[in-house]
Structures are given as structure tokens and as C-alpha cells.
Amino acid sequence: MKDIFFYVPMFVSLCSLGIAGLTFLRNGKWKDGDEIKTAIGNVDSRLTEVTDVQSQHSDRLARLETEIEHVATQGDINVLRAEIKGVESTLSAKVEGVAAQTKSVDAGVIRIEQLLMSEARK
């Protein structure tokens, strides 16, 4: 019986040491679990931010595509240039006609002026 009393404290100590070891491992796993939860929360928040940015980019891209559809092409610019040249030639023809009429009116005014001046000298 004395031999049993010698081994009981050692057995209790070993059990106690085993329980302490298991408690240590369990606490470590809880700690890792909390860190993992925190990391997962951070990843989720970053993923939400990335998703928001992607939706903003798709909205911006859609607006940009809409605006680009309304930008004039080279063909449109060439058509406008042709129209401007047509209007320019029409206006220059009209201006030349007005200039010719102005010259004849100027010549008539000069003749009348000379006639009046010559009559006034007499």
C-alpha cells in the first residue's frame, strides 16, 4: 500500500500537467480562432471595398462609353468641312456681287460729285 501512495501524487501531478497542457493548447487555438476571425473580417471588408470600387468603375465606364458614342468621327468632320466650304463659296460669290455693285455706286457718286464741283466753280 505504501507503494501506491508513492505513485498517487505522481499520477495526480501527471494528470494535472496533462490538463494544463490541454488547456494551453485549447487557449492557443482560441487565440488563433480570434485572430482568424479578425483576419477574415479584414478580408471581408477589403472585399467589400474592392466590390464597391469595381461597381464604381463599371458605372464610370458605362458613362464614358455613352459619351464616346456622341463624339464626332472623322467622317462627320469631313462632312462639316464640305458644308463649310460650300457656305464659304456661296458667301464669297455674294460678297463679290456686292463688291461689284459697290464699285458701280462709288463710280456714280464720284461722277455726281465731280459734276457738282464743276458746276459750283462756274
Give Cβ neighbours of residue 7 (< 8 Å, ≥ 6 apart). none
Q: How far apart, in whole angstroms, are the C-alpha atoms of residue 28 and residue 30? A: 5
Give Cβ neighbours of residue 18 (< 8 Å, ≥ 6 apart). none
Q: How far apart, in whole angstroms, are the C-alpha atoms of residue 92 and residue 99? A: 10
**Over its length of 122 residues, how does the chain's per-residue pLDDT go in tens digits?**
667 777 888 888 899 999 988 888 777 666 666 777 888 889 999 999 999 999 899 899 999 998 888 888 899 999 999 999 999 989 988 888 888 888 888 888 999 999 888 888 87
**SS3 at position 73:** coil
Give the pLDDT of residue 72.
86
- What pLDDT, in 10s, does the model give residues 67-97? 888 888 899 999 999 999 999 989 988 888 8
Q: What is the pTM of this model?
A: 0.38
